[in-house]
Amino acid sequence: MLVVQKFGGTSVGDLERIQNVANRVAKTKAQGHDVVVVVSAMSGETNKLIGYAEHFSKNPSRAEMDMLLSSGERVTASLLSIALNEMGHSAVAMSGRKAGIVTDKIHTKARIESIDPSAMLQEVKEGKVVVVAGFQGVNEEGDVTTLGRGGSDLSAVAIAGALKADLCEIYTDVTGIFTTDPRIEPKAKKLEKISYDEMLELASLGAKVLQNRSVEMAKKLNVNLVTRSSFSDEEGTLITKEENIMEKPLVSGIALDRNQARISLLGVADRPGIASEIFNKLADAEVNVDMIIQNKAVDDTTNIDFTVAVSDLTDAKKVVDTFVQSGEIKADSYNEDICKVSVVGVGMKSHAGVAAKAFYTMAQNNININMISTSEIKVSMVIDEKYAELAVRSLHDAYELEK
């Protein structure tokens, strides 16, 4: 078997843990498998580097940030390779560039465009363990790019796809995907299997085990993903095609995203094209908009409310300001004290009443719902942040997920 093993920041958090990872890789190798490893930076390292940059500038160039941040992953890749070689396992460390990862030009949020796996395959053929620095690639111009926070998951999945690996194991500090965050609801249960689409909702909704783009890519490339802990031998959760899951539960999990901000635009000029202009400018500024609500106001204007990630708020404000200045928006307000709770499950495709039960549960707990959105497999509600945990626990109870 060819296995891609990705180790996240906590798994390589200190030198002892890097040794621990080396032992695990060596064990997989000893079982007769070929292994390509992808690593994150040591935990806290990326934030530390960002802090260094902020010491000098509030708004450092994104190209410089990529040079800086990509170094974190290179440190771990090199150390792990050194450790493996010392143990008598021939290993080689590679930067994203050497691993053949080509991205677009968007610094700090680059997308992988192609991977030429020949350098990796050559080393694997020679019996070596390849250790790739995650989170990075190179653009056409030869500049280093990074893939956005948490991007080394994406590196791992893309590499697994390019290598046609049999399995892509993502090692973190948790044993798998749970019905909800066990720190909030101790009765949360580990799922044995989950479909790409459910995981996608859980990940993009803030269940931070896997980065959402990595799940999207796994789905597209049909990569069988397993998330598991590097600190135990417990089986993890398999993320796979819906067809591979026999028993489909009505609801698989409750996700919480605290990292949301709500933007309210009041007195927006009510004319054809205005929404297109606002949201196109936001897209140009690389702001990801999530929920959108538009209401007609009493006068000739409309109100538009939408949510973005807190990290995109500054960029979003800049865009909104230009419309306020031109008079097309009368007033704007921002609220960071909100969160989004979501009920997710492929089973709801064929069952009515899932949303009604979610609303009823909020009502029972006196929680006001600010915004609602639904899809085939989820019901999301924006509520005040202070009710986040109560909402998660009562929904977990309501759908009997502890069973």
Q: Which residues bind ligand ASP (CB under 6 A)?
A: 9, 40-41, 46, 72, 134-135, 149-153
The DSSP line for 343-385 is EE-GGGGG-S-HHHHHHHHHHHTTPPP-EEEEETTEEEEEEEG
Q: Pick from Mg ion, ligand ASP, none: which does 46 bind, CB < 5 to 8 A by kind?
A: ligand ASP
* Token output for 57: 């500038």
Contacts of 328 (CB under 8 A, 6+ apart): 268, 269, 274
- Between CA 12 and CA 310 the distance in angstroms is 28
Tracing tokens 């049999």 back to the chain, one arrives at 166
Query: Of residues 150-169, which lie at the interface with Mg ion (CB under 5 A)?
Result: 150
Tell me how far apart the alpha carbons of residues 349 and 201 are, in angstroms, rounded to a whole number.
14
Looking at the DSSP bridge assignments, the partners of residue 129 are: 91
Comparing CB distances to Mg ion, the nearer of 156 and 200 is 156
Output phi, psi for 25, to 5 deg.
-60, -45
Q: How many residues does the chain have?
A: 403
How big is the site for Mg ion, counted in residues (CB under 5 A)? Answer: 2
C-beta of 76 vs 260, nearer to Mg ion:
76
Query: If contact means CB under 5 to 8 A according to the sort of partner, which of ligand ASP, Mg ion, none does residue 135 touch?
Result: ligand ASP
DSSP one-letter code for 278: H
| Residue 9: CB minimum distance to Mg ion, A | 5
Find out whether 109 and 148 touch, Cβ atoms under 8 Å. Answer: yes
> What minimum distance in Å lies between the beta carbon of 136 and ligand ASP?
9
- Residue 41 touches which of ligand ASP, Mg ion, none (Cβ within 5-8 Å per kind): ligand ASP
149 binds, among Mg ion, ligand ASP, none (CB under 5 to 8 A by kind): ligand ASP
374 - beta bridge partners? 379
Region of 79-87, 97-105, 143-151, 322-330 interacting with Mg ion (CB under 5 A): 143-151
Angle of helix 212-221 versus helix 196-204 axis, rounded to 10: 160
Quick one: 5 or 252, whose CB is closer to ligand ASP?
5
Query: 143 or 328, CB closer to ligand ASP?
Result: 143
Measure the CA–CA gap between 14 and 100, rounded to whole angstroms: 28
Q: Which residue has the tokens 């969160």?
A: 339
The one of ligand ASP, Mg ion, none whose footprint includes residue 305, by CB under 5 to 8 A per kind, is: none
- Comparing CB distances to ligand ASP, the nearer of 134 and 236 is 134
Among 4, 5, 6, 8, binds Mg ion (CB under 5 A): 8
Whichever of 72 and 161 has its CB closer to ligand ASP, that residue is 72
Tokens representing 132 are: 């790739």
By beta-carbon proximity to ligand ASP, the closer residue of 222 and 311 is 311
- Nearest approach in angstroms of CB 171 to Mg ion is 11
Comparing CB distances to Mg ion, the nearer of 151 and 249 is 151
What residues from 344 to 363 belong to the interface with Mg ion (CB under 5 A)?
A: none
Residue 353 has a CB neighbour count (10 Å cut-off) of: 10
CA dist 385 → 130, 179, 398 (Å): 44, 20, 20
**In the complex, least distance from residue 230 CB atom to Mg ion, rounded to whole angstroms:** 12
Q: Which stretch binds Mg ion (CB under 5 A): 4-12, 48-56, 246-254, 293-301?
A: 4-12
Shortest distance, position 72 Cβ to ligand ASP, whole Å: 5
Query: Which residue's structure tokens are 């995109």?
Result: 312
Question: Least distance from C-beta 150 to ligand ASP, angstroms?
Answer: 4
Q: For the CB of residue 172, give the shortest distance to ligand ASP in the complex, in Å.
A: 10
CB nearer ligand ASP, residue 151 or residue 176:
151
Say how far apart CA 394 and CA 381 lie, in whole Å.
14
What are the residues binding Mg ion (CB under 5 A)?
A: 8, 150
